[in-house]
A and B are shown apart, each in its own frame.
Chain A
Amino acid sequence: MDMSVAVKRDKPWLMRTYSGHTSARASNELYRSNLARGQTGLSVAFDLPTQTGYDSDHPLARGEVGKVGVPISHIGDMETLLDGIPLDTMNTSMTINATAAWLLALYCAVAERKGVDQRALQGTTQNDIVKEYLSRGTYIFPPEPSIRLTSDIICYTVNNIPKWNPTNICSYHLQEAGATPVQEIAYALSTAIAVLDAVRDSGQIEDKGFGKVVGRISFFVNAGIRFIEEMCKMRAMTELWDRLCVERYGVQDHNLRRFRYGVQVNSLGLTEQQPENNVQRIVLEMLAITLSKHARARAVQLPAWNEALGLPRPWDQQWALRMQQVLAFETDLLEYNDIFDGSPVIAAKVERLMEGAEEEMEAVRENGGMVQAVQNGYVKRQLVRSHTERLRAIERGDLKIVGVNCFKETAPSPLTEGMDGGIMRVDPGAERAQIESLQAFRAQRDDAEVKAALDTLAEAARTGTNIMPASIRCAHAGVTTGEWAGRLREIFGEYRAPTGIDISIQDTTPTEEMEAIRTRTRKTGEELGRPLRILLGKPGLDGHSNGAEQIAVKARDVGFEIVYDGIRLTPAQIAKAAQEEGVHLVGLSVLSGSHLELVEDIFARFSEVGLSDVPIILGGIIPEEDAGQLKQRGIAAVYTPKDIDLNRIMMDMVDIIRTSHGLQPFGALQ
């Protein structure tokens, strides 16, 4: 290699780490140390109350404050979060959706107080509500007003914060929900169409300025382990987006049609078993979105190797960042033009993906467009079906996962046998401290100005005036997250999305194991006088329902009658449903880390309605230590992402019901 000639290298992508936890203060310290380590942008994770529009002291926020991200209840929190960070040069990505307008308003208000011109601000608000209904679950309002808020943010930023990416259309979460590459492309582009059409129809942008709007649309995609296909997926999306921009929106300027996207590589494929293998998975997945220059990511965030175990520590996140730095700065990747141009194999694969995606986009159109296809459950059912097929393939061994369904033997891992179990825990006192500081903040506000600002907000919401100026006024007045969202809840109402589990995905060729479980379910039902009924519930604010949906589908397949109502249930609602539905067992799914708090509440509510003898099982990201504690407390079984054998779980459920009724359990299959 000749090192004497300076080689022209491409500029590397933005390197970020999705982070935030405990409090604005703690997250600010984390950001500053990440920036010191060479990270070039911020990616803010908000906690669930902030994402779903509740203050830290709301009853629904209990146990959730600071768990999966930073709690931001008002402008004071935002000022602390951004303390010492230069907003005129920083690129800040905020994973925020239903309350995106509010968090952006807080960001703008803080910039104003620091004397930074709005026009200098750079960053991204995720602001994609469609995938919230389909996968991530932090929606609040019905689709129509939600899309209107999305459109307001776009119109506002295009006119006032020109360097801002107002929406990041996410196919990432669709893959987590089970989407195939074709579905990922089709639904993401269909979402983009729905959003752009809404902006166009809002009349807030003049026709000749519409190209600028299209130019600000960016995407957030996923990259799975089949990295050649994933790379082709990115090339296909790039090509289809370009066509869409020209044909549907008449954008002539080539620069405005560039397919700009950020990536978080696949978390669904990360395993709890032999977690060190996740390192090579993450690296390979990173290749999928960097190798092809024409379809290279603009920003990359990598998960930590131990994400399936719990909240990563700073060192785990640093390791993820170093992977990117090695690729960008040590290798010669950035010295070449696109290395796949001219490959017939790649071209054919891209072509096939594009054809498939166009067909699926047509199906969405036939359902009345993306918003309609989400509301009538079409898209969700397609995703649940794909996910079920994936799990079946793993079960049969057709889809291999090293360390999970093959090569399972392992030497003890020195990585996970650290002092703290290899994960970080949020300080349990953090919630209390956050609530105290929130209450102190409320006490020193000018109440008249708060009221006036909220009235202006309501007026804008009702009349269709852009929501942003009124929201920025609210931010300055000291309005809280809960107050902002609460006022809009009164006007827009709340929504529950279809669960998608009402699909006809009968396994017509059941394995012997399945048949055996069906027999056990039926026989136990006969012994107890009626078919076995179970209630599945997702308590708390966590909206990741993919696991619960798959359990529901599987349980029906083995003959249970399942009552499932989707996400965000209070313990009181779960107890009420368990009573009214006369179920034999209750299954809870909690992924946010608030399981200990929620379970206590559930027990109390069950006891109130006289259901203390109904067995309860729990699934989620549960550290081993907590699992022991939960079982001691009376939870009949605890399942984590490691438990991929759904048949095993089904057999357990039958046996748990048998034991609770004094019947002999069947035990393992012969």
Chain B
Amino acid sequence: MNLQRRSLPDPDDLAGAIAAHDRGAVATALNMLDDRRPEARKCASRMLATLPDDRLDAGAHLIGITGPPGAGKSSLTAALIQVWRAQGKRIGILAVDPSSPLSGGALLGDRLRMMTGEGIADHSVFVRSLASRGEYGGLSAEVWPMSLVMLAAFDIVLIETVGVGQREVDVSKLSDTTVFVAQPASGDSIQFLKAGIMEVPHVLVVNKADMGAPARRTLAELKTTLGSRTDADGWEVPAVAVSATTCTGIEELMNTIEAHRVWLAERGLLADRRKRFQAEWIVKRLREDFGRFGIERLGGEPGLFRTLTQRSGSPFDQYDDLRASFLAHWHD
């Protein structure tokens, strides 16, 4: 699909092309979701509403990979990509990096580290790097709708982010399955979990198992820290040791990740999770716009969640409806 970059594409055609795995269309849609101009927003909203959501049953999986800097997330991603590719899967990646608070600029450069070997020029892998642009009104707000586009085009959608610091995107609030990567011989990883900065992940990974004893020790510590913890849904969190460099344990890890998706799907929790995240995304944006008062005015958080999780449709549409309804109140 050859899309005119200067003018906005037809949203229905665009949605169709995305569903047909057209890479150019995915890129255009991501640009559009990033575009703040009202006409682009309208077009994006329509495009999202037109995207087929039957991919949920087709097994498309939204996976978050997070962990402290230096844990080897990119090389682990690279190793996973090799295994998924061998199964003929299409893979989309959203890699989130922090922005500079002063200039707003950002350096994004992990594409190739995630696509080592023959994957580099491979058309079964699509990577979009994102700058976090701070939390409020920043790009982090767009990660959710962007994942919806990716889910419509690819079998595996991976969101990679440094999960430390309050400014960053919390992938555990977006993903079907959250994978936490810990660095051997570094207390950071464990502190991070204990501090409860993020929700309990679904899969714990100790990378660099080739280091031997330090990796085994960290794995043991993680297991003690978490005990035999289950998450809110009752999933028992596994902890595995892998080595991205020597490619050991990667296939096992992939199976564990897939097992979580199957577990969710069998209990009907997958659709619930995505609806809940969508609701959270909408409520968060409303809170940014109107504060706590606005949320109360719209019926309070529990009420909003109940309504939103029962509805379906484009997140932009739902957000716009609620926004309009609040503003209407205000004009009364």
Please report A residues at the B interface, Cβ cutoff 8 Å: 142, 376, 493-494, 496, 499, 501-502, 506-508, 518, 521-522, 526, 529-531, 552-553, 555-566, 569-570, 572-573, 576-577, 579-582, 609-611, 613-614, 661-662
Contacts and interface: CB of A to CB of B under 8 A. Distances in A.
B36 interface: yes
Interface stretch (B100-108, B218-226, B310-318): B100-108
Interface string B89-121: 000000000011011111111011100110011
Contacts of B100: 506, 556-557
A564 B111 CA distance: 9
Give me the 3 closest cross-chain CB pairs, A-B, nearest first. Answer: A529-B35, A556-B105, A582-B31
A224 B289 CA distance: 57
A577 B105 contact: no
Which size class do B's interface residues fall under? Answer: 35 or more
A566 B109 contact: yes
Given A376-B70, A531-B133, A573-B120, A580 B127 contact: yes
Contacts of B281: none
B129 A610 contact: no
B71 to A, nearest CB: 11
B23 A558 contact: no
Given A581-B128, A582-B27, A502 B109 contact: yes
B106 A556 contact: yes
Contact of A555 (B31, B105, B129): B105
A555 B117 CA distance: 29
Interface stretch (B2-10, B173-181, B229-237): B2-10
Contacts of A553: 107
B154 interface: no
12 contacts: A496-B112, A506-B103, A556-B103, A557-B100, A560-B105, A564-B108, A565-B111, A577-B127, A579-B24, A580-B23, A609-B23, A611-B5
Contact of B113 (A496, A521, A556, A613): A496
Contacts of A530: 31, 34-36
Contacts of B23: 579-580, 609
Contacts of B5: 611, 613-614
Given A557-B103, A581-B129, A661-B6, 15 more contacts: A499-B109, A518-B104, A529-B34, A529-B35, A529-B36, A531-B104, A531-B131, A559-B103, A561-B99, A565-B109, A576-B123, A580-B23, A580-B27, A580-B128, A581-B127
B144 interface: no
Interface of B: 2-3, 5-6, 23-24, 27-28, 30-31, 34-37, 40, 70, 99-100, 102-109, 111-113, 116-117, 120-121, 123, 126-129, 131, 133, 245
Contacts of A556: 100, 103, 105-107
A502 B107 CA distance: 7
B109 A582 contact: no
B312 to A, nearest CB: 28
B135 to A, nearest CB: 16
A609 B111 contact: no
Given A580-B126, A582-B34, A610 B3 contact: yes
A499 B70 CA distance: 14
Contacts of B128: 580-582
Contact of A529 (B2, B37, B245): B37
Nearest to A552: B107
Contacts of A522: 104
A565 to B, nearest CB: 5
Given A577-B111, A609-B24, A559 B105 contact: yes
B62 to A, nearest CB: 18
B109 A564 contact: yes
